[in-house]
Chains A and B, each alone.
Chain A
Amino acid sequence: MNSNIEGIDGQPGNFKLHIRRKPRYVNAAKCTGCGACAQHCPVEAIDSYNVGMGVAPGIFVEYQQSVPLIYTINREVCIGCGLCAEYCEANALDYSQVEVKDTLEVGAVILATGAETFDTEPLTEYGYGKFKNVVTSIEFERILSASGPFRGLILRPSDGTEPHSIAFLQCVGSRSLVKGNEYCSSACCMYAVKESVVAKEHIHDLDISIFYMDIRAHGKDFDKYVDRAKKSGINFIRSRISKIKENKDNNDLLITFEAEDGELTTKELGLVVLSHGLCPPSSSQELSEKLGFDLDRFGFCKTGDFSPIKTSRPGIFVSGTFQGPKDIPETVMQSSGAAALSSELLSSERGSLIEKDELPPKINVVGLAPRIGVFVCNCGINIGGIVNVPEVAKYAETLEDVAFVDTNLFTCSQDTQEEIKKKIISYKLNRVVVASCTPRTHEPLFQDTCESAGLNRYLFSMANIRDQCSWVHMQTKKEATQKSKDLVRMAIAKARLLEPLEKLTFDLTKRVLVIGGGLAGMTASLHIAKQGYDVIIVERENKLGGNLGHIHYTPGGEDVQNHLSSLINNVSKESRISVYKNSEISEITGFIGNYKTRIKEKDSGVENEVEHGIIIVATGGVENKPSEYLYGKNKNVMTQSELEEKLAKNQAISNLDTVVMIQCVGSRDDEHPYCSRYCCTQAIKNALKLRKNYPNANIYVLYRDIRTYGTKEEFYNQARNDGVVFIHYDENSKPIVSESDGNVTVKVQDSLLKRDLVIPCDYLILSSGVVPQPDNDMYARMLKVPLNEDGFFLEAHMKLRPVDFATDGVFMCGICHSPKMIDETISQANAAVSRACTVLSKDFIQAEGTIAFVNKSKCSACGTCEAVCSFGAVKVVESKTRRGIERYAEVTEALCKGCGSCASSCRMSAIDIKGFANEDIAAMIEEF
Chain B
Amino acid sequence: MEDFLSKKIGAIAVIGGGIGGMQASLDLADSGFKVYLIETKPSIGGLMSQLDKTFPTNDCAM
Contact = CB atoms under 8 A, between A and B. Distances in A.
B61 to A, nearest CB: 8
Contacts of B59: 441, 799
Q: State the main secondary structure of chain A at its contact with B.
A: mixed
B50 A3 contact: no
A61 B43 contact: yes
Contacts of B25: 339
Contacts of B9: 13-15, 105-107, 346, 349, 353
Nearest to B57: A798
A338 B28 CA distance: 9
B62 A343 contact: no
Interface string A464-481: 000000000000000000
A129 to B, nearest CB: 20
A413 B23 contact: no
Given A14-B5, A72-B42, A320-B16, A838 B21 contact: no
B27 to A, nearest CB: 4
A112 B16 contact: yes
Interface residues of A, number: 96
A410 B12 contact: no
B33 A114 contact: no
A105 B34 CA distance: 11
A112 B14 contact: yes
A4 interface: yes
B19 A328 contact: yes
Q: Which of A14, A345, A835 has the most CB of B within 10 A?
A: A14
A69 B54 CA distance: 24
A47 to B, nearest CB: 11
Nearest to B30: A838
A180 B29 CA distance: 39
Given A106-B13, A319-B24, A380 B19 contact: no
A112 B12 contact: no
Given A104-B36, A114-B46, A144 B52 contact: yes
A332 to B, nearest CB: 5
Contacts of A787: none
Given A3-B39, A110-B15, A834-B31, A379 B60 contact: yes
A346 B62 CA distance: 33
A354 B33 contact: yes
A890 to B, nearest CB: 34
Contacts of B10: 107, 346, 349-354
Given A106-B9, A111-B16, A412 B43 contact: no
Nearest to A143: B52
Given A62-B41, A350-B32, A14 B6 contact: yes
Q: State the main secondary structure of chain B at its contact with A.
A: mixed
Interface residues of B, number: 54
B37 to A, nearest CB: 9
Nearest to A72: B42
Contact of B52 (A19, A65, A380, A798): A380
Interface in A109-165: 109-115, 117, 138, 141-142, 144-145, 148
Contacts of B43: 1, 61-63, 66-70
Contact of A66 (B6, B42, B51): B42
A350 B18 CA distance: 25
B32 A104 contact: no
Given A191-B55, A354-B32, A834-B31, A334 B20 contact: yes
Contact of B42 (A5, A62, A148, A349): A62
A345 B53 CA distance: 37
Contacts of A257: none
Interface stretch (A217-225, A454-462, A638-646, A753-761): A217-225
Contacts of B55: 190-191, 193-194, 222, 225
A535 interface: no
B34 A353 contact: yes
A319 B60 contact: no
A110 B24 contact: yes
A225 B54 CA distance: 12
A174 to B, nearest CB: 16
A141 B51 contact: yes
B53 A332 contact: no
Nearest to B49: A63
B42 A24 contact: yes
A138 B20 contact: no
A219 B57 CA distance: 13
Contact of B58 (A110, A194, A328, A348): A194
Interface string A519-542: 000000000000000000000000
Contacts of B51: 141, 145
A343 B51 CA distance: 31
Contacts of B40: 2-4, 283
Nearest to A63: B49
A563 B58 CA distance: 39
A278 to B, nearest CB: 9
Contacts of B49: 49, 62-63, 65
A276 to B, nearest CB: 12
B27 A835 contact: yes
Contacts of B50: 49, 51, 138, 141-142, 145
9 nearest A-B residue pairs (beta carbon): A349-B10, A320-B20, A112-B16, A112-B21, A112-B20, A66-B43, A339-B27, A838-B30, A353-B34
27 contacts: A1-B17, A1-B39, A2-B41, A4-B40, A14-B6, A62-B42, A62-B45, A67-B45, A68-B43, A70-B42, A110-B12, A110-B14, A111-B15, A112-B18, A114-B47, A144-B53, A198-B52, A225-B56, A283-B40, A320-B16, A332-B20, A339-B28, A343-B12, A343-B33, A345-B8, A834-B31, A838-B27
Interface of A: 1-5, 11, 13-15, 17, 19, 24, 49, 51, 61-63, 65-70, 72, 104-115, 117, 138, 141-142, 144-145, 148, 190-191, 193-195, 197-198, 219, 221-222, 224-225, 283, 287, 319-322, 328, 331-332, 334-336, 338-340, 342-343, 345-346, 348-354, 379-380, 382, 410, 412-413, 441, 797-799, 834-835, 837-838, 841
Given A320-B16, A334-B20, A335-B24, 12 more contacts: A1-B43, A1-B44, A2-B41, A61-B42, A113-B16, A138-B47, A142-B52, A225-B56, A335-B20, A335-B21, A339-B31, A353-B34
Interface of B: 5-25, 27-34, 36, 38-60, 62
